[in-house]
Amino acid sequence: MIIECRLKRPGGSDIDIDGVVYEFRPNQKEQHVCEVENEVHAQRFLSIVEAYKIPGAPDSKPLVTSVVESSEGPSTALDDDAVKTFLVEELGIENPEDEEELIAYGDEVLGIDVANATSDGTVMDIARRIVDHQPEPGADDDEQTEMSDVELLAYVVDVFGIGDPTDKDALQAYAIENLGIKVPKTMSAINMSRAMVEADQASAAE
């Protein structure tokens, strides 16, 4: 299977997955492509929609963009199944019906008590509260980087030297050992990366 890398670095990109180095190089159409014969590795690449795709396919947009930009508030535009999908695919929450996991996410990642902040305290009410408290893309937090998701992934690979930017164990280990912070694995890989880049840039600015 031919896969295209959206991270167009000079000369291409070398990505290591399980000891196999995939060399993404520009073709005649200036697409950075590589043949990936291992189906498991191919699916892992394609799961990183911000950075990889089938050549010629339209660029995928993260679900968080359309959800957060809802004028009526994020969760009001979603049914229960869509809320659960958002929690799993975008935030990395393993069980969207686990009240303890949702409360832990609210406390560790958002810094709010989602259980007591909801109107009736049901699991879905807590889940919707989490969706409603996701930061808008490009919001001006004090130290928030303005990098796009693609730029974040490039930073993680190029600066941190992490070959697979979706490997949460690798992200968390690097954050603890090199940045002195702990990024919960309940976060999505993108949000873990964003927190790490912000910490790295804040340290460099000191």
Tens of pLDDT, residue by residue over 84-119, are: 877 887 777 888 888 888 888 877 777 777 776 544
Whether 141 shows a pLDDT value over 50: the answer reads no
Task: Find out whether 87 and 127 touch, Cβ atoms under 8 Å.
Answer: yes
Q: Which residues of 42-73 are buried (b: 16+ CB within 10 A; e: fewer)?
A: bebbbebbbbbbeeeeeeeebebeebbeeeee
What does the pLDDT look like over 49-68, one tens digit per residue?
Answer: 777 888 877 765 443 333 33
Res 203: pLDDT? 79
pTM for the complete prediction?
A: 0.42
Q: How many residues does the chain have?
A: 206
From the number of C-beta atoms within 10 Å of its C-beta (0-12, 13-18, 19+), residue 157 rates as buried
Strands, sheet with 2-5, edge to edge from the N-terminal-most edge strand: 13-17, 20-26, 32-35, 2-5, 52-53
- Of the candidates 184, 183, 55, 73, the residue with the CA atom closest to the CA atom of residue 130: 73
Question: Which one-letter DSSP state was computed for residue 108?
Answer: I
Predicted confidence band at 145 (pLDDT cuts at 50, 70, 90)?
very low
Residue 60 or residue 138, greater confidence: 60
pLDDT at residue 78, rounded to an integer? 64
HSE at residue 81, side-chain half, CA atoms within 13 A, is 0
> 21 in helix, strand or coil?
strand
CA gap 173, 177 in Å, rounded: 6
- Model confidence over 167-196: pLDDT tens digits? 888 999 999 999 888 888 777 788 888 888
pLDDT attached to residue 35? 93
Joined together, the tokens standing for residue 31 give 């697409």
